[in-house]
Structure 1
Amino acid sequence: MNSLPEPNALLSSIRSSSHLATEIANISISSQAIERLLKSPAFLTSFQRVSTQHGLALPLKFSSPLDELNVISVLSLLNFGSGYRLPLRAETGRGAWDNIRLLVFAMFIGGSEEDLLSAKGMQHLNEAKVAELMRVNVYVEKPHKDIPGVTVGELGGPVYELVKHISAVLIETGQLLEKAGYPNLGAFVAEALKEGERVSKSSTADVQVFLDRLIRFIPAFQDCHIVDGRPIYIFKKALFLAHAITIRFGSMSSPSFPVPDTSQVPIFADNVLPSLLVHLGVIELSSSPPFQSIFQDVDVSIEKLNSRLAEASTEPGSPGTPPNEGPTVTTDQAYLLRAAAVDACEMIVQKARELDEPSWLKDLRSTALDMWLWSIAKDRADYRRLGRFVLRDTVFF
């Protein structure tokens, strides 16, 4: 495990490590491009509509807020697989996020003998069971080694890789929860929220205390990496969970657990946000040594940027339209790109608060900006076709 930041410096460590990594890698973030984006029809005509599309309205009947908290916690734990988008679409017709949602729904509904969302139930989710619940084929046809012209099915392929990652995360997390005496992940999350409330001495949980407790206990939330001897802290899934709790329970009168204040947290950097910011000209990689062959073919000419920053055409982003595969990157490159997205979004929020019009820009928060970038990438047909970088061997995004 990489060393983790001090609890009271967790958010600042995400920002400072991302800024330093971006600077050292010589990744440029164009202030001119930021202002152009904020003043563009693409942003101004869609932001207030699209930034509320969070995908967290779950069509399930919950017995209690704690029951829903557990489902949202497991959904956040498994919120990865972006590198398997194209093979998943070929197999199921859905992208990574929608497949994970449907898996969690199946876990919620399908535990006839045992609650699959409990600590004990998670430990029974071996690769075969995960594949069954996801309704995916994890076999590939290979020539028989002894009989010419005959093929046999063997476990393998990218979807099987993802299934192995999902199963490993569920089993490991279930084991940790049971050993510590928690019936499910939601119970642990509720306790971490209450610990944050005790520290904040108010009705809301201290988000840094909550995040720190979550990250230190569960390895699948420890989203950090060393590049050239320096740590980069991202913690995408942990931040996503904190904000998901705020979205789902923030307006509830008494959900039986405190809700964190996520108004000051940074973005939840995955592969979509940095890729889109590259295509919109905000992140520039042309002078960065680690990216001499990555995204170098992206057309960011004035003509192309004007097209992307114009108001969207009436053609919607069809869920069935397969996106273009972006470049495959190393783990180091992925963390540098995600760090650049964190840094760029901090600059976007700062610039928004300096602008006079429209007035709502002064209240722009990183969480809403994150939701807009992630959702607009699916909302617009032309954005759906933009390539997003690919890293498969990760459980963090």
Structure 2
Amino acid sequence: MSSPVPPLPSSGNFIASIRDTARSLRQAEHITIPESSIRRLLLSPAFTRTYHRISTTSHGLALPLNFPSPLSELNLLSLLSLLNIASGYRIPLHQQTGRGAWDSIRAFVFGLYLTSSTGDVDDLLSAKGMMNIGDSKIAELLGVSLHTERPHETISGVTVGEVGGPGWELTQLLKRLMNETGAMLLNGGYKDLGGFVVEALQEGDKVARQKGEEAAAEVVLERLVRAIPGFQDMAEVNGQPIYCFKKALFLINGVNIRFGSKSPPPFPVPRTSHIPVFTDNVLPSILIHLGVINLSTASSSLSSLFPNAGSEESLASLLAEATEPPATGDKRTPRPKRIPHDGPVLTTDQAYILRAAAIDACELIVEYAHSMDAAELRELGLEWIKEITLPDLDTWIWAVAKDREDYRKLERFVLRDTVFF
């Protein structure tokens, strides 16, 4: 069952609304973020010996494609961000495609690109192509089945195939995102999503020249969220609004990652070091396992979700240096693929509560890091901790979840039927 939807934040307050509502909801649900746990994480070998290696990775946005123009790459990056969902279908995707959620969506978007011809009537990356794409094409490019099998009602040993199952469910979510966004773009006179995003970037740049460079991300975020339903990641939980806007923030930061180092950049690039994290199911789940998000004082419906997380025994192992070679970053060690286990299945409200806790936890981690004693950090050779940023912290949490075999085994919560993560 979906949660009630609050009104959009007032103009100019989209980023502030994310921080404010996340903290309010987290506190209202009696979820704590102990300073001692933050400090323990920041000074742990698990953090200090991996942060530089994996926090500045491209977050999977280094696309192995030859683009005819920067706008073409921006269009694909924008679509990839819009379609960055499927976390709840991680297990069936592993079973059907051999890939996890993010890799499956990346492969799907690559397929859209490789089967499209710019300017052609069949260009699936255009607004018209997005509006008209159907089930079978999505399922074909995603590599999933639109059918499920069940035993015949009367004939023993015979199975019957019928439309349905996780592949079909995910296909419907992707089709909804593409169809409604394509229709919006066409109605607004835009050829594709990249054209709309460029306009938002240019508008943000104009405001930033008047109000300072941090204003650009605010303007772009508001423009994206107001126009596109697939970016309106928000809900009302127990009478309290919560705004996450995960995919829109991910896109803005992606623009910075892909185009910020080019001189000159092909279009305005917002500064993103100050924006909130891109909360999904990975960030809260990992922060719970690492003892930063403490559910023990929350309601029983929340405190029972991860019964073995945060114990002294598990933290001693998880916060120590990894005992096996890394799986990500510059020193990769190929490992046999194993189908992971799903974590607890949550309601929409529960998911928003934990995602809010992750937003606030990351704010508090960065605040604490910046306030640490410089002399102490200098003595430890960790002066750089005072300079960590929210997007890099987000990347570290997301990447470290794949970097260590023991972290890969940690349960992540599951929410299906969502177009937001």
Q: Give the TM-score normalised by the residue count of structure 1.
A: 0.96
More strand by share: 1
The 1:140–1:174 alpha-carbon spacing in structure 2 relative to 1, beyond 3 Å, is same
Alignment partner for residue 401 of structure 2, among 351, 369, 377? Answer: 377
Q: Percent identity?
A: 52
Q: Separation in 2 of the partners of 1:386 and 1:345?
A: 19
Q: Give the TM-score normalised by the residue count of structure 2.
A: 0.91
Q: Separation in 2 of the partners of 1:345 and 1:289?
A: 22
Structure 2 unpaired stretches of 5+:
328-334
Partner of 1:24: 28
Partner of 2:310: 300
Alignment partner for residue 327 of structure 1, among 309, 323, 344? Answer: 344
Alpha carbons 1:94, 1:320 under 8 Å: kept = no
Alignment partner for residue 162 of structure 2, among 132, 137, 154? Answer: 154
SS at match of 2:235: strand
Deviations 1:63-114 (A, max 9, x none): 1111100000000000011010011001111000000000000000112552
Partner of 1:15: 19
Partner of 1:188: 196
SS at match of 2:218: helix
1:108 aligns with 2:113: yes
Partner of 1:5: 9
Alignment partner for residue 62 of structure 2, among 42, 57, 63? Answer: 57
Partner of 1:71: 76
Structure 1 unpaired stretches of 5+:
none
Alpha carbons 1:25, 1:290 under 8 Å: kept = no
1:245 aligns with 2:255: yes
| CA-CA distance at 1:196 after TM superposition | 0.8
The list of structure 1 runs, each at least 4 consecutive aligned residues, that deviate by more than 6 angstroms after superposition, is: none
Q: Separation in 1 of the partners of 2:304 and 2:177?
A: 30
1:274-353 map, 5 Å: 274-289=284-299, 291-292=301-302, 294-317=304-327, 318=335, 320-353=337-370
| CA-CA distance at 1:300 after TM superposition | 2.3
Alpha carbons 2:324, 2:404 under 8 Å: kept = no
Deviations 1:182-227 (A, max 9, x none): 0000000000111111111279671111000000000000001101
Paired letter, 1:276: I
Partner of 2:147: 139
SS at match of 1:70: helix
The 1:232–1:290 alpha-carbon spacing in structure 2 relative to 1, beyond 3 Å, is farther
Paired letter, 1:115: D
| CA-CA distance at 1:148 after TM superposition | 5.0
The 1:229–1:108 alpha-carbon spacing in structure 2 relative to 1, beyond 3 Å, is same
Q: Separation in 2 of the partners of 1:365 and 1:291?
A: 32
SS at match of 1:259: coil
> What RMSD over aligned residues (CA atoms) do the two structures have, in Å?
1.6
Q: Separation in 2 of the partners of 1:2 and 1:261?
A: 28
SS at match of 2:351: helix
| CA-CA distance at 1:152 after TM superposition | 2.4
Partner of 2:383: 359
Alpha carbons 1:285, 1:291 under 8 Å: kept = no
Q: Separation in 1 of the partners of 2:61 and 2:344?
A: 29
| CA-CA distance at 1:287 after TM superposition | 1.5
